[in-house]
């Protein structure tokens, strides 16, 4: 059994890669956990696409404000310095390339950076896309947070997505429970390995030809903040 | 004297005819004009096309309008939610038509309608099935697809306060689609907590100027405010905490 990071550990790694001053959108689901590990002494500004910059943590139970929610429709708070705005402005921030980082979940990420995360294409399913496609193409850096393998042990890193696409060539980096991958013109480059994972093992698990880029970046990445 | 304040929500939704296109503000329940939707249900218009981010939550508001089978088609970005059983049922039954639009394209198409833009090129959705069949163009090395405005006969939105001219102030993230829908409809109907005297809204704080508003109805202060001050004590749906004991008040779903 090779080393696998828990969701919380993964969230911690991603949080450590986000610099002070960054404008960040954390997608619905697991990426939301990244907020829990952003260093309290750094000012990092969270964007929620339903219309706020400067989003803070969940309120206490008696303090829930139905007018103050995040994109996952959960109660949140506003930090000092927060701003509210309407939907066209909110997505203009995204589409206009003003967000530094967004962190998204994925069904599949392809070698060329294509992302599939909004639909499995299953017949009869009720479709929903929300802001996924805008997020995928809008932020300067699109990080994916995901398990490397599905429950059926199929690789989520693929040569080409078989699920309906969310965006083309949009992913810059994939944080998985086994390793961190950068999307490069030559394919996936392994940036950091966790525990006893090796590039050879990951190549076997994914069935992809991988570039070993661990020596270049492993040190500064693990140091984090 | 200009006075856009109407005496009731019934008067506010008068004139919505069968087959009309109606924008409904809100993101989930935040900013959803529940009282206006209830009045629309009572008014009876049917065969409607609804433009809204979601397709109703629980059994109230937009979900209730859908359940009453008044909606032929809905244009939205995120219909499927854990509490969207009304829409899900109608969709599976084939009783409602869905046009799924990425949220940013939905917002910009609404804005385009309100600002006189004939169409625009958006990078969102390019290469995906939601942009299939759309005209594309490469501009400075990037591919965009052509998106057309979405306009409506009526917009039903919710704001916090208005004056009798229809200048609007919103509250927190309940602003969401209000300002852009207000501009994109022939008749914009707003429900507010309170009408304040002309001149008492600081012009610096007007989020929707009166030119975009035709009717204003007062529905009373929201449960979680008292004399403009947040007092809380409610769950995410605005129900008093005692009434929702045992449910996860801070939890939510997209």
- Please tell us whether the domain made up of A7-33+97-223 is placed in CATH 3.40.718.10: no
Q: What confidence category does residue B254 fall into, taking pLDDT thresholds of 50, 70 and 90?
A: very low
pLDDT, mean of residues B199-228: 97
Spatial contact of B157 and B188, defined as CB atoms under 8 Å apart: yes
Per-domain boundaries in chain B: 9-122+149-222, 229-254
Summarised one tens digit per residue, pLDDT across range A160-207 is 999 999 999 999 999 999 999 999 999 999 999 999 999 999 999 999
Is residue A24 pLDDT above 80, yes or no?
yes
What are the strands, taking DSSP E only, across chain A? 23-26, 45-48, 52-56, 77-84, 101-104, 108-110, 115-116, 141-146, 157-158, 173-176, 179-184, 187-193, 211-212
Summarised one tens digit per residue, pLDDT across range B137-165 is 999 999 999 999 999 999 999 999 999 99
Summarised one tens digit per residue, pLDDT across range B186-203 is 999 999 999 999 999 999
Is residue A219 pLDDT above 60, yes or no?
no
Short-list A126, A123, A155, A139, CA closest to A27: A139
What is the nearest CA distance from B206 to chain A, expressed in angstroms? 12
Q: Cα–Cα distances in Å, from B151 out to A218, B14, B36?
A: 52, 19, 19
Helix (H, G, I), strand (E, B) or coil at A16: helix
| Cβ contacts from A onto B, under 8 A | 193
Q: Cα–Cα distances in Å, from B185 out to B106, B152, B166?
A: 14, 5, 15
Supply the pLDDT for residue A225.
43
- Residue B29 structure tokens: 């329940």
Residue by residue, DSSP assigns A181-193 as EEEETTEEEEEEE
pLDDT, mean of residues B91-95: 96
Mean pLDDT of the residues in chain B = 95
Is residue B249 pLDDT above 90, yes or no?
no
Give catalytic residue positions of A.
Answer: 49
Of A71, A74, A133, the CB nearest to B130: A133
Q: What confidence category does residue B243 fall into, taking pLDDT thresholds of 50, 70 and 90?
A: low
Is residue A221 pLDDT above 70, yes or no?
no
Pairing of strands B136-139, B142-147: antiparallel
Question: Using a CB-CB distance cutoff of 8 angstroms, which residues of chain B are in contact with residue A130?
Answer: 77-78, 102-103, 254
Supply the pLDDT for residue A1.
65
pLDDT, mean of residues B218-228: 96
Summarised one tens digit per residue, pLDDT across range A43-55 is 999 999 999 999 9
**Regarding the domain delimited by B9-122+149-222, which CATH topology (the fold level of the hierarchy) does it fall under?**
Glutaconate Coenzyme A-transferase (3.40.1080)
Is residue B42 pLDDT above 80, yes or no?
yes
Is residue B82 pLDDT above 50, yes or no?
yes
- Burial call A20-38: b when 16+ CB within 10 Å, e when fewer: eebbbbbbbebbbbbbebb
Q: Tell me the CA end-to-end span of chain A in Å, nearest whole number.
A: 29
Is residue B252 pLDDT above 70, yes or no?
no
Q: What confidence category does residue A223 fall into, taking pLDDT thresholds of 50, 70 and 90?
A: very low
Of A64, A124, A128, the CB nearest to B236: A64
Spatial contact of B42 and B70, defined as CB atoms under 8 Å apart: no
- Residue B186 structure tokens: 């022939």
Supply the pLDDT for residue A124.
81
Q: What confidence category does residue B248 fall into, taking pLDDT thresholds of 50, 70 and 90?
A: very low
Complex prediction ipTM:
0.94
Q: What is the CA radius of gyration of chain A?
A: 17
Is residue A217 pLDDT above 60, yes or no?
no
Question: Using a CB-CB distance cutoff of 8 angstroms, which residues of chain B are in contact with residue A63?
Answer: 232
Summarised one tens digit per residue, pLDDT across range A71-130 is 999 999 999 999 999 999 999 999 999 999 999 999 999 999 999 999 998 888 889 999
Is residue B78 pLDDT above 70, yes or no?
yes
Supply the pLDDT for residue B250.
44
pLDDT, mean of residues B118-145: 97
Q: How many CB atoms lie within 10 A of CB A160?
A: 11
B217 beta partners: B191
Is residue A220 pLDDT above 50, yes or no?
no
CB contact under 8 A, B92 and A124: yes
Supply the pLDDT for residue B49.
98
CB contact under 8 A, A69 and B98: no
Question: Using a CB-CB distance cutoff of 8 angstroms, which residues of chain A are in contact with residue B77?
Answer: 128-131
Supply the pLDDT for residue A125.
86
Supply the pLDDT for residue A204.
97
Q: What confidence category does residue A33 fall into, taking pLDDT thresholds of 50, 70 and 90?
A: very high
Q: Is B222 left (phi over 0), alpha (psi -120 to 50) or beta?
A: beta
């Amino acid at each position: 059994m090779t080393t696998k990071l828990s969701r919380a550990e993964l969230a911690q790694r991603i949080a450590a890669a986000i610099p002070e001053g960054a404008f960040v959108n954390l997608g619905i689901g697991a990426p939301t956990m990244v907020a829990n590990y952003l260093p309290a002494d750094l000012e990092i500004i969270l964007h929620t696409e339903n219309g706020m910059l400067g989003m803070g943590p969940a309120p206490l139970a008696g303090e829930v404000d139905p007018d103050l929610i995040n994109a996952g429709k959960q109660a949140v708070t506003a930090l000092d310095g927060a701003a509210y705005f309407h939907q066209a402005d909110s997505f203009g921030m995204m589409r206009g390339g003003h967000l530094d980082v967004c962190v998204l979940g994925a069904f599949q990420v392809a070698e060329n950076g294509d992302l599939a995360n909004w639909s499995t294409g299953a017949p009869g399913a009720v479709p929903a896309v929300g802001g996924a496609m805008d997020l995928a193409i809008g932020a300067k850096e699109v990080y994916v947070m995901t398990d490397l393998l599905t429950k059926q042990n199929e690789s989520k890193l693929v040569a080409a997505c078989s699920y309906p696409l969310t965006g083309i060539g949009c992913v810059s980096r994939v944080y998985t429970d086994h390793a961190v991958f950068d999307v490069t013109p030559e394919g996936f480059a392994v940036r950091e390995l966790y525990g006893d994972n090796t590039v050879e093992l990951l190549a076997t698990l994914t069935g992809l030809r991988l570039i070993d880029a661990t020596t270049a970046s492993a040190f500064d990445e693990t140091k984090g903040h | 004297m200009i006075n856009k304040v109407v005496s009731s929500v019934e008067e506010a939704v008068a004139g919505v005819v069968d087959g009309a296109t109606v924008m409904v503000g809100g993101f989930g329940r935040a900013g959803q004009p529940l009282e206006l939707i209830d009045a629309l249900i009572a008014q009876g218009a049917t065969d409607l096309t609804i433009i809204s981010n979601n397709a109703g939550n629980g059994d109230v508001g937009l979900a209730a309008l859908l359940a009453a089978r008044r909606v032929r088609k809905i244009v939205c970005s995120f219909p499927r939610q854990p509490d969207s059983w009304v829409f899900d049922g109608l969709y599976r039954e084939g009783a409602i038509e869905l046009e799924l639009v990425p949220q940013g394209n939905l917002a910009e198409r609404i804005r385009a309608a309100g600002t006189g833009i004939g169409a625009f090129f958006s990078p969102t959705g390019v290469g995906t099935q939601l942009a299939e069949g759309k005209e594309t163009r490469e501009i400075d090395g990037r591919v965009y697809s052509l998106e057309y405005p979405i306009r409506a006969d009526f917009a039903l939105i919710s704001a916090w306060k208005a004056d009798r001219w229809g200048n609007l102030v919103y509250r927190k993230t309940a602003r969401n689609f209000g300002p852009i829908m207000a501009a994109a409809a022939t008749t914009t109907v707003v429900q507010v907590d309170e009408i304040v005297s002309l001149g008492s809204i600081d012009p610096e704080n007007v989020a929707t100027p009166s030119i975009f508003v035709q009717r204003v109805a007062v529905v009373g202060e929201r449960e979680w405010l008292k004399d403009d001050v947040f007092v809380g004590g409610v769950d995410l749906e605005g129900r008093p905490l005692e009434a929702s004991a045992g449910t996860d008040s801070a939890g939510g779903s997209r």
